């Protein structure tokens, strides 16, 4: 591909990931990873989960990260979510070089900048939807009145304003996942990070949750989703494919959808 054929966005991403080490990216880049490597010692055997990943994600993007088992997608998610640190390389989150932070500082950034959504809803069974959503604000020391106001607003964002007093066993699977999404949103994070968010849901309910993510993305929320399901990934606007600890492809939704139509799982390297 000639330089004049490279999309402007790809040129900008290449420029920011090839900046000099230690050089902060411009503020519209919420995530910049340069040469990320992560190795694990598994009983004397070195497993190279990430082998030098370069990726840049702008604020307000909706991105899916995919890859077969062992590709490194879970490791990359853990690094993006500040749950782990790399052996080498840089990771910038909202202008902060988090890859060099100590654990306590990393925890503060994680709680402030990232909202997590998992395939298991992790809701307190005896607590109402409102109280479940309030929990991050309790830990943050927010006053009771403000907690309730912000938790109600978060539930409204996921169309559950009429379910604030319901407990998890009074909600459907999709509603429980929406409560979990509201809880992830209540701190107004820079990133909503979803790990297989439809893994425990049927196909109809999965589409319901995907519509919630699409609506949040249309409102300007940065959404990063890790999934092994092509039908789920097609909802994102950008799809990053990992294989053997490296980025195999990084494409916008239109090209990714064409691959799904022409070759299904085989075309995108999934097992």
Rounded alpha-carbon distances, angstroms, from residue 31 to 82, 179, 184: 12, 26, 18
pTM above 0.85, yes or no: yes
Compute the average pLDDT of residues 230-258. Answer: 85
Say whether pLDDT at 254 is over 70: no
Specify the CATH number for the domain of residue 122.
3.40.50.300
Structural domain boundaries enclosing 64: 3-267
Average confidence score pLDDT of the chain: 89
What percentage of the chain's residues is helix, strand, coil (to nearest 5)? 40, 25, 35
Q: Over the stretch 127-142, which tens digit does the pLDDT of each residue have?
A: 999 999 999 999 889 9
252: pLDDT confidence band, cut at 50, 70 and 90?
A: confident
The whole-number pLDDT of residue 9 equals: 61
pLDDT at 76 over 60: yes
If you average pLDDT over residues 14-38, what whole number do you get? 92
- pLDDT tens digits for range 140-166: 899 999 999 999 999 999 999 999 999
Please give the tally of structural domains in the chain.
1
- Mean pLDDT along residues 192-211: 94
Q: Which residues contact 246 (CB under 8 A, 6 or more apart)?
A: 50, 51, 52, 53, 72
* Cα–Cα distance list, 265 to 66, 82, 207, 257 (Å): 11, 30, 19, 12
Rounded to 5°, the CA angle 209-222-124 comes to 50
pLDDT at residue 5 in the model: 39
Per-residue model confidence (pLDDT) at position 2: 37
């Amino acid at each position: 591909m000639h330089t004049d054929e490279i999309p402007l966005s790809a040129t900008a991403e290449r420029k920011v990931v090839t900046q000099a080490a230690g050089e902060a990216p411009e503020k519209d880049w919420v995530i910049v990873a340069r040469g990320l490597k992560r190795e694990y010692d598994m009983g004397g055997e070195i497993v190279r989960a990430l082998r030098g990943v370069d990726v840049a994600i702008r604020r307000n993007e909706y991105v899916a990260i995919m890859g077969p088992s062992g590709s490194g997608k879970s490791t990359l998610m853990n690094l993006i979510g500040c749950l782990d640190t790399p052996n080498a390389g840089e990771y910038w989150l909202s202008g902060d070089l988090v890859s060099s932070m100590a654990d306590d500082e990393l925890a503060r950034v994680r709680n402030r900048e990232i909202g997590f959504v998992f395939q298991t809803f992790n809701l307190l069974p005896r607590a109402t939807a409102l109280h479940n959503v309030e929990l991050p604000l309790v830990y943050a020391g927010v006053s009771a009145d403000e907690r309730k106001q912000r938790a109600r607003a978060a539930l409204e964002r996921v169309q559950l304003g009429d379910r604030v007093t319901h407990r998890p066993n009074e909600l459907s699977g999709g509603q429980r996942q929406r409560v979990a999404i509201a809880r992830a949103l209540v701190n107004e994070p820079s990133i909503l990070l979803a790990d297989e968010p439809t893994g425990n849901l049927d196909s109809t309910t999965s589409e319901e949750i995907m519509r919630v993510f699409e609506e949040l993305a249309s409102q300007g929320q940065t959404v990063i989703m890790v999934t092994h399901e092509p039908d789920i990934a097609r909802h994102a606007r950008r799809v990053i494919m990992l294989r053997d600890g490296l980025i195999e492809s990084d494409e916008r939704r239109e090209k990714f959808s064409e691959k799904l139509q022409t070759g299904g799982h085989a075309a995108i390297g999934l097992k």
